[in-house]
Amino acid sequence: MKYLIVSLFFFSLTALAQNDEKSQELLNKMSKEIKSLSSFYIEFSFAMKNASTGEDSKENGKGYVQGDKFNASLGDNEIISNGIKIWTVVKEENVTYESAADDEDEESINPKRLMTIWESGFKNNYVKQDKLNGKAVHVINLFPTNPGEVQYHTITLYIDAASSELSKAIMKTKDGTTMSYEIENFKKNPEIAASKFVYDAKKYPGYRLIRD
């Protein structure tokens, strides 16, 4: 029995090493493609569930990215960044929060981070090939390299096998919350007006601006 357990342990390590090599190759290919783009536009659906708290919500979002700049909306809220500052517009509070881009929460998801989240701070593991909405996808798990510093434990990526583009990402947190982002539309190199990446207070009359 002891020999069997040891054998299985080493078999698992071997399989994991092979899977890591395969997943890294896929992720490198995705990164290369994203970095080759001057800009991109995405539309996505977002769902959040937690059985213990009863949380079960769904919203649609969209995002524009150009270099380090981005503009994203999710429901009534909007996040704007010129690469130096980030403005988070919260309609429910009639407030805009301004902060430095360097101070962005590592656990926050904006459209640029969503499409490059695997590049740093994670170990990866190839899980399997599966089907998503009738299309073949590669399933890869990401695990934080410093799990004690973040509130999530696993991010699962679903990568279109034909296009090598991200189709879906699911984040699982330590409190039992599951957050999923499903890409519904992805456009490469669209023309984006520079005004998309600058906060214009005139567009948000009556909003308080709070600077961190």
Q: Report the distance separating Cα 19 and Cα 125, nearest Å.
A: 6
Q: Pairing mode, if any, of strands 152-160 and 135-144?
A: antiparallel
Length of the chain: 212
In this predicted structure, what is the pLDDT of residue 51?
Answer: 87
Half-sphere exposure for 69 (CA within 13 Å, toward CB): 13
Which amino acid would we find at residue 130? D
Q: In whole angstroms, give the CA distance from residue 57 to residue 7.
A: 45
Question: By the 8 A CB rule, do 62 and 42 touch?
Answer: yes
**pLDDT score for 108:** 57
104 within 8 A of 119, measured Cβ to Cβ: no
CA distance 196 to 2: 62
Number of domains in the chain: 1
Q: Which two structure tokens, joined as six digits, stand for 102?
A: 């360097």
Residue 65 C-alpha from the chain's centroid: 13
pLDDT of residue 152: 86
Are the CB atoms for 114 and 169 separated by under 8 Å? yes
CATH number at 80 reads 2.50.20.10
Beta carbons within 10 angstroms of residue 60's beta carbon:
12
> Which pLDDT score, from 0 to 100, does residue 18 have?
40
Residue with tokens 């509130």: 151
pLDDT tens string for the chain (212 positions)? 433 333 333 333 333 334 478 999 999 998 889 889 999 999 999 999 998 898 999 999 999 999 889 999 988 899 999 999 999 999 999 999 999 988 755 545 677 777 888 888 889 999 999 999 999 999 999 999 888 888 889 999 999 999 999 999 999 999 999 999 999 999 999 999 999 999 999 999 999 999 98
Task: State pTM to two decimals.
Answer: 0.81
Quote the tokens at residue 145.
């390299």
Domain range spanning residue 83? 2-211
